[in-house]
Copies of this chain bind each other. A is one copy, B any other.
Amino acid sequence: MTDKAFLDSIKWTDDGLVPAIAQDAKSGRILMMAWMNRESLQLTADEGRAVYWSRSRQQLWRKGESSGHTQIVSEIRLDCDEDVIVLQVEQLGGMACHTGRESCFYRVLKDGQWVAVDPVLKDPKEIYA
């Protein structure tokens, strides 16, 4: 892909980033939200797998590079304000979260407290061993 026009139409933050939401294409479960810069979005489109920008490490983050939990991307959408991305993904390994859960959104607000309601599928020590 050589046409970069689709990157130019995005309203990047001052840091050159755009939030990207990963949704499980089959179950519809929202798995995580991370950030992308121009290069990571281009790579995601080219490679067909989610490549984010790690703000903490300040480097490209090929999701699954250490865990094996790659996200195969079947669709990329943009919102009306052109400042948020949604990815439809197949989540390899069945878990997106570094805590070993399917989704990073495993806590629910109940009676004024965040309560973890989703099971840990795999011990993180095993994931990142």
Give the size range of A's interface with the partner: 35 or more
Q: Say how far A55's CB is from chain B's closest CB, in angstroms.
A: 10
A-B contact pairs, 15 of them (CB 8 A): A3-B112, A9-B114, A19-B33, A21-B21, A23-B30, A33-B79, A33-B84, A45-B109, A76-B109, A77-B105, A77-B107, A78-B107, A80-B101, A81-B104, A84-B104
Copies of this chain assembled into the complex: 2
Bound-state Cα–Cα, A3 to B111, Å: 9
CB–CB B109/A80 < 8 A: no
Bound-state Cα–Cα, A86 to B33, Å: 10
Point out residues on A near B: beta carbons under 8 Å: 1-3, 5-6, 9, 19, 21, 23, 27-30, 32-33, 45, 75-81, 84, 86, 97-99, 101, 104-109, 112-114
Bound-state Cα–Cα, A112 to B32, Å: 24
